[in-house]
Amino acid sequence: MFSGLKDKVGEVLLPGDEFSLETEDTISLTERVKPEKVVCGPGLRRSGDRLLVCKSGVLRHKQPNMFWMDSQQRRYVPAKGETVIGIVTVKSGDVFKVDFGGSEQASLSYLAFEGATKRNRPNVQVGDLVFSQFVVANRDMEPELVCVDSSGRANGMGVFGAGGLLFTVSLGLARRLLSPHSEVLSDLQTLFPCELVVGMNGRLWVRSSSVQQTLVITNLLQSCDTMTAPQRQELFRRAAQGAL
């Protein structure tokens, strides 16, 4: 059913490309066969028994049957479950307004923090950085953020940012840094031990032992977006020699 689609994994596809998801017209009388279901991620859309590509990029696949388009885009579109770095812009009553770099601001309730109650409110001020995740993200409703996971724990989320530097990179580089085996992150931490927070919206926060080293790390990450692995390693090597 997905053989034609799986053959295209890792290749560049363009909007308008189409794949058939028709199942074989056979019935098994000896064993119970469970129909396979394809999960469409960003850049793909299902219409009946067809799968349409609506965004150019590289086709990616995750077992068992999840497909999505890995594309380069400038504007961040929120998705449920993604973690982002936001800036508190408005504090009104029981709700904070957070700028995450999208087309509109998201709402963050004061009860969406670990241990927060009506009497024990979190200390959040305008201008604070918050690391949070989306629980509501669709085009018909206002985006909503929380700073707790499904079990009510902070799990690294909340207000942060003291003594560090916030900057932006491309959305593609942010996804590469968040991958399980990120070569960019491993090369960087080998040379410059630091604290790094990465948001899916392309915002990064970094803090190291000195202001000079923090600025060096910032420039390295912003410069290595379009570099190959040998070019990036050479850049990191020269930066390490110059910082010593």
Which structure tokens are listed for 233?
Answer: 């390693």
What CATH class does 165-243 carry? Answer: alpha beta
Asked if the domains 3-70 and 83-160 are classified in one and the same CATH topology, the answer is yes
Give me Rg for the CA atoms of the chain.
22
Given this model, what pLDDT does residue 202 score?
Answer: 92
pTM: 0.79
Is domain 3-70 classified as CATH 3.90.105? Answer: no
Q: Show me where the domains of the chain are located.
A: 3-70, 83-160, 165-243
CATH of 83-160, one of 3.30.70.1060, 3.40.50.150, 3.40.47.10, 2.40.50.140: 2.40.50.140
Output the CA–CA distances (angstroms, integers) from residue 44 to 16, 34, 55, 61, 180, in the order listed. Answer: 10, 24, 7, 12, 23
Q: How far apart are CA 90 and CA 79, in angstroms?
A: 22
- In this predicted model, what pLDDT tens digit does every residue of 18-54 receive, in sequence order? 888 765 544 545 555 455 678 888 888 888 888 889 8
Which segments in the chain show pLDDT lower than 50?
Answer: 25-26, 28, 33, 244
Tell me which residue of 69, 108, 68 sits closest to 85, measured CA to CA.
Answer: 108
Extract the tokens encoding 120: 């024990």
| Phi/psi of residue 169, nearest 5 degrees | -135, 180
Please give the DSSP secondary-structure letter assigned to residue 23.
P
Mean pLDDT of the chain: 85
In order of 105, 106, 121, 191, 199, the CA distances from 101 in angstroms are 8, 10, 26, 30, 11
At 31 the pLDDT is: 53
At 190 the three-state DSSP class reads helix
pLDDT at residue 244, as a whole number: 44
